[in-house]
Amino acid sequence: MEPPKGLITRILELAFMLALSAYLIRTAAYWIQEVWPILLTIAIIVTVTIIGIRIWRHRHDDLGKW
C-alpha cells in the first residue's frame, strides 16, 4: 500500500494541476479566437449543402409533398 500523502504534497499537486489547467484553457481560448472564422465558414457551407441536398431530393422524389 502507498503511504498517505502529506498536506503540503497535496497542496503542491493541486497548485500544479490548477496552473496547468489555466495554461491549457488559455491556450485553447486563443486558438479558438484565431480559427473561429474558418470554423464558422465550414459550418455554414456544410449546413447550406445539407439543406440544398434535402431540397433537391424532395423536388426529385416521387413521394408526396412537404
Q: How far apart are CA 1 and CA 4, in angstroms?
A: 9
Q: What is the pLDDT of residues 44-59, one digit of tens each?
A: 999 999 999 998 888 8
pTM to 2 decimal places: 0.54
Asked if 50 and 42 count as a contact pair (C-beta separation under 8 A), the reply is no
Q: What is the pLDDT of residues 11-65, one digit of tens each?
A: 999 999 999 999 999 999 999 999 999 999 999 999 999 999 998 888 877 665 5
More confident call, 55 vs 3 = 55
The single-letter code of the amino acid at 43 is A
- Predicted confidence at residue 58, as pLDDT, reads 83
Asked if 66 and 58 count as a contact pair (C-beta separation under 8 A), the reply is yes
Q: 22 in helix, strand or coil?
A: helix
More confident call, 7 vs 48 = 48
